[in-house]
Amino acid sequence: MKKFASVIIAVVILVLCFTLSACGNKYVSHYNATLMVRTNTSNNASVSFDSFSGIYVIHLKNNSADEVFITYEATLQEGNIKVYYDFDDEKLNLFEIETNGSVDGKTETFTGSKTIYIIIESDGKCNDGSFSFVLEKSEK
């Protein structure tokens, strides 16, 4: 009986550990990709791939109270991808890119020490893509 109770307690603890560890993730990546290269620091992130299908989430962090914005560049040889951002609990469209497309630009200015989420969502299988995002301080 003691072994059975110990097993039940161990299972409950494991389940709680796995569930509680996922609470901080607002968005979750789930994708299939080949030859995918990713970098992600608090100030910049990039991803390039040979093929990609799914959702990939990037976290950038404004570690100060300074105003910041994100500059971005993207190219895509084949497919359709929508890129969103979330700063204040609202998922907003950043840009869309289609076959043989390229795009560059910058976001609005963000204020406050918070995480900025970049969400890359494909519409089916995409090939030969490259995306980069850089968090920069706003000049006043």
What does the alpha-carbon distance between residue 55 and residue 29 come to, in Å, rounded to a whole number? 5
Mean pLDDT confidence for 121-139: 91
**79-116: per-residue pLDDT in tens?**
999 999 987 788 899 999 999 999 999 988 877 768 88
**16-56: per-residue pLDDT in tens?**
555 544 445 688 988 888 988 988 888 899 999 999 999 99
Kindly report the pTM of this predicted structure: 0.78
Q: Walk me through the domains of the chain, giving residue ranges and CATH numbers.
A: 28-137 (2.60.120.260)
Higher model confidence: residue 126 or residue 62?
126
Count CB atoms within 10 A of the CB of residue 126.
24
What does the alpha-carbon distance between residue 66 and residue 80 come to, in Å, rounded to a whole number? 34
Residue at 48: amino acid letter: S
> Whose CA is closest to 40, among 57, 27, 63?
57
Residue 8 has pLDDT above 50, yes or no: yes
